[in-house]
Structure 1
Amino acid sequence: MKTADSLPQPAAYAAAHAESLADPAAFWAAQARALHWFTEPTQVLSTDENGFYRWFRGGQLNTCYLCLDYHVAHGRAGQVALIQDSPVTHTVRRFTYGELLELTARFAGGLRELGVEKGDRVLIYMPNLPEAVVAMLACARLGAVHSVVFGGFAPHELAVRIDDAQPKVIICASGGIEIDRIIPYKPLVDAAMEQAAFKPAHVVVLQREAIAHAVHARMQPGRDVDYQRLLEAAPVACVPVDATDPLYILYTSGTTGKPKGVVRDHGGHAVALKYSMSAVYGVQPGETFWAASDIGWAVGHSYIVYGPLLHGCTSVLYEGKPVRTPDAGAFWRVIQEHEVRVLFTAPTAIRAIKKEDPEAHLLRNYTLSSLRHLFLAGERCDPATLDWARQHLGVPVVDHWWQTESGWPMLATLVGLADMPAPRAGSAGHPVPGYDVQILDEAGLPVLVGTTGLVAVRLPLPPGCLPTLWHDDERFRQSYLSTFPGYYLSGDGGYCDADGYVYIMGRVDDVINVAGHRLSTGEMEELLAAHPAVAECAVLGIADELRGQRPIGLVVLKDGQTIGEAQLETELVQCIREQIGAVAYFRQALVVKRLPKTRSGKILRKTLRQLADGEDFVVPSTIDDPLILDEIRARLRSRGIGLAFERQAGLLPTNTA
């Protein structure tokens, strides 16, 4: 196949989207020609023994080769591939494609000396560091399957992932840095290893010099290995892998509390991300792209590491916050200093900046002439936040929607294609080529324009989306494919207006989105219910102006309990922090007399959430005692809950179902 960096893309959105649905195999075969294949695919689109769709069967390639070796061989050895910008350590480091290749090839050699081979799993528990990117790429180089776990997760969550992935090696840093504290990572890993039934053979530890005064990881002889030792190994070449082989596992919260291991394959992943860099984000090879996220999340995988490097861009790896590192001008400094063309961040970040610098005074200290677009995703962006960013930055602000499961955008304004309708506040845009997005009612039938329904995608999903869950085909089928045969069920609700703009309204199950972190309220309920004073409970994801959503707990005490509400709340908050982590942002637990239920005993969680958010709702006919809602409304208001943020922001359609 041809291997040019800049093969022509479809010129017009409407034509590209129509072609991608009419003949998916032909459309994606054309996009696949932008990559270098060791062996060309024999079947662009096929199904496996489970009836699941697979892309580029018979093809062989290597994602690390496409990210590094290919560019070095084609004139980009001296171009900066990765910029580490760490305001928390006052560090900026730059790595050219040639330097990143050398580090990755040697680290891959070190992993091989520890026994890591094609198909083995490696778990990575690190902050936003170049060493973490090297570890990810080194796994891809060997054909090993990496699983990156966000550094804010507690030992229990880490242990669950260890037992599910069964990694041969864990790679961790000695610690991570927050605004006001240093978090020792290695003790968390040691605690997780104690809890996990599966015991990895080795733990590779990066001793961070920047925080050596506060944290120096204790090493266990015979098991723990210094990160730098692996870089002393001889470099190794890329291992050819099948396009359908797994590249990584990324765990996302499930409604049962057990995380789901989303699998990403080499071939479809590379084709989709390469296409998205030009078509969705409108960037060219050589330009600087910044995804202000964490490598532990899907955004970090797709658009800090793989997408920019596949496309020959310079990627910014940021270890800091949008505010207080050192101030609300931090993002603007990074854009100016590194000549960022496209910034991709979460609405939460813009809200935090807006909260601390509402008139954008700090923006005046910087020149953002390089910036072409701001993309927002992670949770729904309210129009007020989008308008603020557009007004002060003076560039198009594009809200778009995708999921861990999709791995790349499903709805967007594709700035790289012609005839694309302009962004519209409150909407995530139009379906990206390859996605046949439908709004369905509970019977699986299309709803009327403007009516809220369930967001689904007609099969086949395009390349880059999950082909299944890690070692759990049945859960994949039940979670995503069984509700509406022939469709992938996103789990989100939304509606489409008369002009084809799609609006995503939020989750329809108990997985909530806290500042881009998908967390299970069901798992939180299990933890609260384990408290000896708690008889039953419900955890709600309520609207939060800064984070999109945040959890609150409603608890019913056991008879005879005399514990004070303040003490109970403190203990429950600490429990969630220890078992899930601070990322959950669980701060409030309210004692109530009863929970509203159906006559069959089901807690009316959706009604409770609507009540807390100040939304209009119809009292379910199945409720056993409607007066309970009045009692809980008063209880919520006594704690300052009920800002009706979503309605104030204009996010609700006028015609809801």
Structure 2
Amino acid sequence: MLACTRIGAIHSVVFGGFASPELAKRINNCKPKVVLSATCGIERSDKIVKYIPLLSKALKISKHKPKAVIVYQREQLPVLLDLKLGFKCWYEEVASVQELTDAPSAVVDSNHPLYILCTSGTTGLPKGVIRPCGPHLVSLSWTIRNMFGIKPGEVFFCASDLGWVVGHTFTCYGPLLEGCTTVLYEGKPVKTPDAGSFFRVIQEYGASIFYTAPTALVVLRKEDKEHNIVRKYNLDSIRGYFMAGERCSTEIYKWWVEHTTGKRVDGERYHYDEIKGIAVDHWWQTESGSPMTGICIGVSEDPKEIAPIQFGSAGMPLAGVDLRVVKAKDHLNEDEVVHSHIEEADFNEVGDIVVKLPLPPGFFTGIWENKKVFFSSYFRKYPGYYDTGDMGFVDKDGYVHITSRCDDVINVAAHRFSTCTFEEVVLEQNGISEACVVGRPHDIKGQIPIIFAVLEKNMSAKEKSELVRSIVTKIRADIGPVASMLPENVIFVPRLPKNRSGKILRRTIRVLIDYAGKHRNDLSEKLPIPMPPTIEDPDVLKDTWLIIASLVNPGSVELRSKM
């Protein structure tokens, strides 16, 4: 990545483990001159992802053919390279040029693309987000200093894959830009060898900032709910813990503060009495390139001048982000445009989150070779605004609450509910480690909620029944009877389908439920949709499909026999 930047070349890093067809789409999209790959990725000591078979197949089916494919042989998985596909050995290529002088630093225009990073598109084709060099570096410099408060020479530990925007921003470019040391971490937060891996790295390298996703915190809570493992480590070097990637529920947020401070947490806000170990949930997107909301812990050395964290919130809008919440228009379809009827929502009223133009420095400047999608996906619905595609609200104190993606909303008899509203209630129950709520089609009400929950430990049938009753009662009390929460729609599952980053595949589950509802009389054991390219464990999704199919068609003996 840094070498490409030095010579003015554009890089496009792809998450390791993409299925060959998805990898081929990305090769066709950005048309690389050179493809660089390792032979494998290591998730755990007992789990290695083989890259070369995936890459070889992708190169065979892609229309674009790169001039060279350079492979770095990892000692964990050396492979015999296929010369017919143009594969070359990294070591040999480096040796052949070691006598040459260093390449000079290229001088490029400020808006020259630094990189292309593909994000998922609604058509199944990747959207190549274009990041401009100069504005991005300006944004990163401000963010590293003010939001994180990290100083030159300190250590920044971001536990993200380089294939995601977080890895680009806070593993590669951000820390190095400010003269910090960055930690490259490969593997999961648990079973490497245990749930203390993150804390071991923090202690060993004296990290000032630790950055991860809320899904990692969920996993850690499951493994170390009583805080026994974390107590083994000295975390005095940490100034801040930062979480992003998806919404951090109030339950998980509070647990993490208790986990890292050793103090009991009550109430909806928490104010640290020193700038040490501050836990900050924040929000941004691949398109923005750096955080849009958060709490800045680097603006003062006085903890009294640092805003308190608010559980369930992603902080406040950062400099340059003119964030607004507009009232959602249920009647609009994807092709309609809101003209002069944009109405801002009231405090605490959920709506579509937008950013008023002009956008702050560092935002994407286009979609690679697709100007039409750039406009239609982000700027058409609300002229004069960037449409984030997320929903949420701003409270009276200015804290931003991201509730869901715009398509993660359940419409029950014309009443709109964010799925996270239900998940918050479920996760408050003792005995639940993870939960996913989506809408299930209903003939009269349109949709009703269905809950998929993972238990912390095995329970008897009686205990499960009591837990279901407690969940339903709590939802009716906190959300209301209009939510139409039925006991038969609380489903306990061994595991939830996730991608390799640990995100629950909510949209995929919703698609399966919709499919089952439309084809209830023609269901089979076979998964009716393509396997997601970044699936963590395909068998979990297959099992989820069997559960969904048996719910919709309980009379199917063949399906029930598989449960």
TM normalised by structure 1 equals: 0.62
1:163 to 28, 37, 49: 28
Give the superposition deviation at 1:444. 2.3
The answer on whether the counterparts of 2:516 and 2:552 sit within 8 Å (CA) in structure 1 is: no
Q: Flag the 1:159–1:222 CA change in 2: closer, same or farther, 3 A.
A: closer
Aligned residue for 2:309, secondary structure, equals coil
Shift of 1:152: 2.0
TM superposition shift of 1:580: 5.1
SS in 2 for 1:343: strand
Residue of structure 2 equivalent to 1:417: 299
Task: Map Cα deviations across residues 496-521 of structure 1 (whole Å, 9 max, x no partner).
Answer: 1111111001111379xxxxxxxxxx
| Range that drifts further, 548-557 or 222-231 | 548-557
1:202 maps to which residue? 68
Show the counterpart of 2:79: 216
Q: Select which of 586, 602, 606 maps to 2:541.
A: 586
Which residue in the other structure is 1:407 paired with? 289
Unaligned runs of 5+ residues in structure 1 are 1-135, 512-537, 595-630, 641-657
Q: Specify the alignment match of 1:183 in structure 2.
A: 49
Residue in 1 that maps onto 2:160? 293
Q: Do 1:542 and 1:549's aligned partners in 2 also have CA atoms closer than 8 Å?
A: no
Q: Which residue of 2 aligns with 1:254?
A: 121
The residue aligned with 1:653 is: none
**1:319-365 deviations in whole A, cap 9, x for unaligned?**
12110000001111000000000101001111111101111111121
**Aligned partners of 1:308, 1:470: CA distance in 2, in Å?**
27
- CA change 1:581–1:390 in 2 (3 A) is closer
Give the corresponding residue for 2:321: 435
Q: Aligned residue for 1:493?
A: 391
Distance change in 2, residues 1:366/1:157 (3 Å): same
| Paired position in structure 2 for 1:479 | 377
Q: Distance in 1 between matches of 2:187 and 2:64?
A: 33
Q: Tell me the alpha carbon deviations over residues 521-563 of structure 1, each in whole angstroms, 9 at most, x when there is no partner.
A: xxxxxxxxxxxxxxxxx9x998778855323213349999877
Instruction: Give a deviation string over 1:384-404, Cα, whole Å, max 9, x none.
Output: 111111112122210000000
Change (3 A) 1:634 1:288: farther
Which structure is richer in relative contact order (CA contacts within 8 A, separation 6 or more)? 1
Shift of 1:426: 0.3
Give the letter aligned to residue 589 of structure 1.
W
Q: CA RMSD for the aligned pairs?
A: 2.9
Q: Which residue of 2 aligns with 1:609?
A: none
Bigger mean CA offset, 429-438 vs 182-191: 182-191
| Distance in 1 separating the partners of 2:16 and 2:531 | 16
User: Which amino acid in 2 is paired with 1:582?
Assistant: E
1:446 is matched with 344
- Among 493, 504, 512, the alignment partner of 1:549 is 504
2:531 aligns with: 576
| Contact in 2 for aligned 1:186/1:217 (Cα 8 Å) | no
Show structure 2 runs of 5+ residues with no match. 262-276, 330-340, 410-446, 455-495, 497-501
Aligned to 2:435: none
Q: How many residues align?
A: 430
Whether contact under 8 Å (1:150, 1:297) holds in the other structure is yes
Amino acid at match of 1:410: M
Q: Deviation of residue 250 (structure 1)? A: 0.2
Task: Check the 8 A contact 1:541/1:549 in 2, yes or no.
Answer: no
Cα-to-partner distance string for 1:271-293 (whole Å, 9 max, x where unaligned): 11111101111101110001110
8 Å Cα contact 1:556/1:591 also seen in 2? no
Whether the 8 Å CA contact 1:152–1:582 is kept in 2: the answer is no
For the residue of structure 1 that corresponds to 2:35, the secondary structure is: strand
1:379 aligned counterpart, secondary structure: coil
Query: Is 1:152–1:583's contact at 8 Å kept on the other side of the alignment?
Result: no
Match of 1:344 among 202, 211, 229: 211
1:496–1:502 Cα contact (<8 Å) kept: yes
Write the letter of the residue equivalent to 1:286: G
In the alignment, does 2:10 pair up with 1:138?
A: no
Give 1:224 deviation, angstroms. Answer: 1.5
The residue type paired with residue 400 of structure 1 is H
Structure 2 residue aligned with 1:398 = 280
Summarize the Cα distance change of 1:204–1:541 in structure 2 as closer, same or farther, 3 Å threshold: farther
Provide the rounded CA distance (Å) in 2 between the counterparts of 1:582 and 1:277.
Answer: 31
Q: Per the alignment, in what secondary structure is the counterpart of residue 582 of structure 1?
A: coil
Match for 1:502: what amino acid?
Answer: V
Give secondary structure in 1 for the equivalent of 2:145: helix
Q: 1:446 to 1:420 in 2, by over 3 A?
A: farther
In structure 1, what is the equivalent of residue 105 of structure 2? 238
> Residues 465 and 593 of structure 1: is their aligned pair in 2 closer, same or farther, counting only changes over 3 Å?
same
* Identity over aligned pairs, percent: 42
Q: TM-score, normalised by structure 2?
A: 0.71
Matches within 5 A, 1:15-26: none
Paired position in structure 2 for 1:627: none
